[in-house]
Structure 1
Amino acid sequence: MDPASGVIVAQTAAGTAVVLGLMRCGRIWLCPVCAATIRHKRAEEITTAVVEWIRRGGIAYLVTFTARHGHTDRLADLMDALQGTRKTPDTPRRPGAYQRLITGGTWAGRPDRDQDGIRDRIGYIGMIRATEVTVGQVNGWHPHIHAIVLVGGLTTGQRAEREVVGVFDPSETSLEEWQTHWRAVWAAALRKVNPDFTPDDRHGVDFKRLETERDAHDLGEYIAKTQDGKAPALELARADLKTAAHGNVTPFELLGRIGDLTGGMTEDDATGVGSLEWNLARWHEYERATKGRRAIEWTRYLRLMLGMDGGDTEADDLDLLLGADADGGELRAGVTVTEDGWTAVTRRALDLAAIQAAEGKDGNLDPAAVGERVSEVLAAAGAANKIVVLTPAEVAEAYALMLESLALRREEAAFRRRREHEDHHTDIEVIGSLDMDTAT
């Protein structure tokens, strides 16, 4: 981040190692390294929200949305159908099936006629949406949306002033009405884009209800585990941990096979499926189709109603990455490596070895010992004179400077979010302001 400062490889009080001073790309769709950290932090955030809502007496549903697809369908077309098109200088944004779920008089009501909508009858306060993509040689691309929907809330106010003032149990009739409505809207919206995308009644929209105190505790426990398909927060956020089913692969599995095949493995020994050409073509199509899209997104103002901070932009993802550096706790041993020294380390793929050397797995946590171990790695990279061992005081000072920089970033992010909250012309709200006399 700052060539004059170089890179700091430091050890935490827990014996783990962190590397400070490196830029992060923050590409949740494309970077396995950044995606793992961002998605883990997002999963923690989602779990906190859902656990708190259930503890307050609210109800949560994990809802999965899918479209019919075939091997000839382009990923960009499917993503447009689900999420909507992206705005360009020449064309306006077109809503997708997801946005259609929360528009229209049947859903939102007709205030001019003093009529409530389905959202009022179920106490809808918002949802958290995550889009996941898999691909197979037989059935092609399979993008789908997981959403945790929070219902059972009594609210007052509008937009940024909206507050939850209580909870209630929606009637089974209202919940059934909601589910029937969303299934119909979802299918109709996809049919309008392309009749071939229309799902059947059984697979288009799936609802799983979470409502007990045990559910809340389970979410807290699952967050520390590898995704196993049973934790709604992880189901939403941790696409990087998943192995696709039914012969499909995840994008990072495409990337892994590309690495294996370009590294000299045979097709039989490499992970995944398909030829190198097939995997490269799918990966490039995936890059283009996901560009400019958000992988995980909260309904606007939902965080405010739940008393939570944060946002969904790429800048917010970078905040999470920097915050992860600060999560390691007190730094007590470390070294600084000059910019050209770290370049030499990475050129020889010794950066992981440098991090492991700082972890103190041999039990010797003395700063000088940490410096000696990391120096050995630098020497192997031909950069033995590019390192300075830090005293505990110097490590603390470096850590304080990093936290100061992080605090500034968070202040800028908070200001940006305040500006966003003041701007009520969001995509969903613009769609929601369409003619309310038109029932979906």
Structure 2
Amino acid sequence: MDPASGVIVAQTAAGTSVVLGLMRCGRIWLCPVCAATIRHKRAEEITAAVVEWIRRGGTAYLVTFTARHGHTDRLADLMDALQGTRKTPDTPRRPGAYQRLITGGTWAGRRATDGRGHADRDGIRDRIGYIGMIRATEVTVGQINGWHPHIHAIVMVGGRTEGERAAKQVVATFEPTEAALSEWQGHWRAVWTRTLRGINPDFTPDDRHGVDFKRLETERDANDLAEYIAKTQDGKAPALELARADLKTAAHGNVAPFELLGRIADLTGGMAEDEAGGVGPLEWNLARWHEYERATKGRRAIEWTRYLRQTLGIDGGDTEDDDLDLLLGADAEGGELRAGVAVTEDGWTAVTRRALDLAATQAAEGKDGNTDPAAVGERVREVLALADAADSVVVLTSDEVAEAYADMLTALALRREQAAARRRREQEQEILHKGGKVSLRHEARDARRALARHATDPSSH
């Protein structure tokens, strides 16, 4: 992050080690290292949101959406059908089946023909008290059935709100009626199936597999009656089901993307096919991985309904910058630092060039119980000597490590303040933009009415 400072390899009070001062790629789809941390932090956010909503008296569902797929279907086409196409300089963005779920008069209510009110003020959205949802997209692939992208969403219902956009607040909660819930589930199944059929009839799912609803139940914590733990009916933690795709091993002969990557590493490293993890020959795994890279580029892996975070009092955002903030925050959560070394930029470059960065990090751990800074420094220096970089190490006392740690926290706090300011500006700009569009629509409406009056009565102005 700062070439002048290099990096700091430090030991924590828990005996683990952490490397401070490194940039992260933050690629949640492609990087096993960054994805593990980002998804872990996202899972914590989702858990906090679900617990908060249930604590308020709301209701949540885990809803899974899938499409029919075959071995000849391209992943990009399936992702477009589910998530919508990505906007390019030459083509506008087209919605997918997911976006269609929360549009239309049946869902949102219908305006009266005179445009002055609602003929059906209580659409399905209002009858179930829809607040928003958190969506995560997961991808698996198999040699027989091909790509299988699917969406998990935690949907929060049972709330009454006032205000719009960033100013929206929950003013009450209620239990939706069975009739309203049944209507909602039937509507979403119909919209999902109809939209996929319109995009490509081959993607049309059957009634049993297309959309699956699981209500999230609660258990009162035995030690603290104020705390709730949300979990699905089959016992899975909904946040992990949503966010931790990096932990999953696919079923029915399918593999997760990082299993493709692991098999590629095994096979290119000389391991026999029957001993390597995953399935298929190297060429098949490479082709699938490259297709996966292209199809996921520019897409969000995890996304919240806009303003849902603010409504529930959860900080953060869903952008790549926010993912980087989570990575930096995870670096700063290692606990008290008690011994370490500073390594110059050139020294660390030499270490990574020889793939010794993991060994250097492990050398700083306190597994042998020796936490003396000089001993930690000597162990790390021995590793760097293998890269001809032993002279680039400076041993830090616990006070010096603490000072470096404080500097890192200060930099992280500044970054988070800048991210929060950026989100506020984006929200303000959107509100101004929407307001301007509404004003123009009103002016155009008034002009049309004036023209209509003049056409029937030329003497009017």
TM-score range, shorter chain: over 0.9
Matches within 5 A, 1:238-257: 238-257=244-263
Letter in 1 for 2:155: V
Residues 217-251 of structure 1: CA deviation (Å, up to 9, x unaligned): 4459x9xxxxx981110010000000000100000
Letter in 2 for 1:327: E
Q: What's the secondary structure of 2:126's corresponding residue? A: helix
Residue 412 (structure 1) aligned to one of 414, 418, 440: 418
Listed as ranges, the gaps of 5+ residues in structure 1 are 223-227, 427-440
Residue 113, structure 1, aligned to residue 118, structure 2? yes
Residue 317, structure 1, aligned to residue 323, structure 2? yes
Question: Does structure 2 conserve the Cα–Cα contact (< 8 Å) formed by 1:106 and 1:117?
Answer: yes
> Which range moved further: 382-391 or 23-32?
382-391
Residue 80, structure 1, aligned to residue 86, structure 2? no
Q: What's the secondary structure of 1:89's corresponding residue? A: coil
What is the Cα deviation at residue 270 of structure 1? 0.9
Structure 2 match to 1:262: 268
Q: What's the secondary structure of 2:82's corresponding residue? A: helix
What is the Cα deviation at residue 417 of structure 1? 1.1
Residue 337 (structure 2) aligned to one of 331, 334, 341: 331
Structure 1 match to 2:24: 24
Give the whole-Å Cα distance in 2 for the aligned partners of 1:95 and 1:380. Answer: 54
Question: Does structure 1 conserve the Cα–Cα contact (< 8 Å) formed by 2:10 and 2:17?
Answer: yes
What is the Cα deviation at residue 214 of structure 1? 4.7
Letter in 2 for 1:44: E
Task: Give the TM-score, by structure 1 length.
Answer: 0.93
What is the Cα deviation at residue 374 of structure 1? 1.1
Structure 2 match to 1:382: 388
Relative contact order (alpha carbons < 8 A, sep ≥ 6): 1 or 2 greater? 1
Residues 190-233 of structure 1: CA deviation (Å, up to 9, x unaligned): 1111011010100000000013235974459x9xxxxx981110
Residue 178, structure 1, aligned to residue 155, structure 2? no
Structure 1 match to 2:360: 354
Give the whole-Å Cα distance in 1 for the aligned partners of 2:267 and 2:379. Answer: 34
What is the Cα deviation at residue 419 of structure 1? 2.0
Give the whole-Å Cα distance in 1 for the aligned partners of 2:118 and 2:182. Answer: 24
What is the Cα deviation at residue 416 of structure 1? 1.4
Structure 2 match to 1:164: 170
Residue 372, structure 1, aligned to residue 374, structure 2? no
Question: Does structure 2 conserve the Cα–Cα contact (< 8 Å) formed by 1:58 and 1:211?
Answer: no
Question: Does structure 2 conserve the Cα–Cα contact (< 8 Å) formed by 1:55 and 1:213?
Answer: no
Residue 133 (structure 1) aligned to one of 136, 139, 145: 139
Question: Does structure 2 conserve the Cα–Cα contact (< 8 Å) formed by 1:335 and 1:388?
Answer: yes
Structure 2 match to 1:6: 6
Q: What's the secondary structure of 1:141's corresponding residue? A: strand
> Which range moved further: 282-291 or 378-387?
378-387
Give the whole-Å Cα distance in 2 for the aligned partners of 1:419 and 1:72. Answer: 44
Task: Give the TM-score, by structure 2 length.
Answer: 0.89
Q: What's the secondary structure of 1:73's corresponding residue? A: coil
Structure 1 match to 2:102: 102
% identical aligned pairs: 84
Question: Does structure 2 conserve the Cα–Cα contact (< 8 Å) formed by 1:54 and 1:213?
Answer: no
Residues 319-344 of structure 1: CA deviation (Å, up to 9, x unaligned): 00000011112222110011121122
Give the whole-Å Cα distance in 2 for the aligned partners of 1:405 and 1:110. Answer: 50
Give the whole-Å Cα distance in 1 for the aligned partners of 2:370 and 2:177. Answer: 62
Residue 57, structure 1, aligned to residue 63, structure 2? no
Letter in 1 for 2:94: R
Q: What's the secondary structure of 1:212's corresponding residue? A: strand
Residue 401 (structure 2) aligned to one of 368, 390, 395: 395
Give the whole-Å Cα distance in 2 for the aligned partners of 1:22 and 1:337. Answer: 11
Give the whole-Å Cα distance in 2 for the aligned partners of 1:425 and 1:73. Answer: 40
Give the whole-Å Cα distance in 2 for the aligned partners of 1:50 and 1:68. Answer: 30
Give the whole-Å Cα distance in 2 for the aligned partners of 1:184 and 1:230. Answer: 27
Structure 2 match to 1:187: 193
Q: What's the secondary structure of 1:340's corresponding residue? A: helix
> Which range moved further: 179-188 or 353-362?
353-362
What is the Cα deviation at residue 414 of structure 1? 0.2
Give the whole-Å Cα distance in 1 for the aligned partners of 2:228 and 2:34. Answer: 28
Question: Does structure 1 conserve the Cα–Cα contact (< 8 Å) formed by 2:51 and 2:229?
Answer: no
Say what the alpha-carbon RMSD is for the aligned residues: 2.0
Give the whole-Å Cα distance in 2 for the aligned partners of 1:158 and 1:6. Answer: 47
Listed as ranges, the gaps of 5+ residues in structure 2 are 112-116, 222-226, 433-461
Give the whole-Å Cα distance in 2 for the aligned partners of 1:255 and 1:113. Answer: 53
Residues 371-407 of structure 1: CA deviation (Å, up to 9, x unaligned): 1221111123221111000112211111111111111
Residue 302 (structure 2) aligned to one of 291, 296, 302: 296
Residues 135-173 of structure 1: CA deviation (Å, up to 9, x unaligned): 000000000000000111111111111001121000000
Give the whole-Å Cα distance in 1 for the aligned partners of 2:14 and 2:322. Answer: 27
Give the whole-Å Cα distance in 2 for the aligned partners of 1:232 and 1:56. Answer: 18
Question: Does structure 2 conserve the Cα–Cα contact (< 8 Å) formed by 1:229 and 1:235?
Answer: no
Structure 1 match to 2:93: 93
What is the Cα deviation at residue 27 of structure 1? 0.2
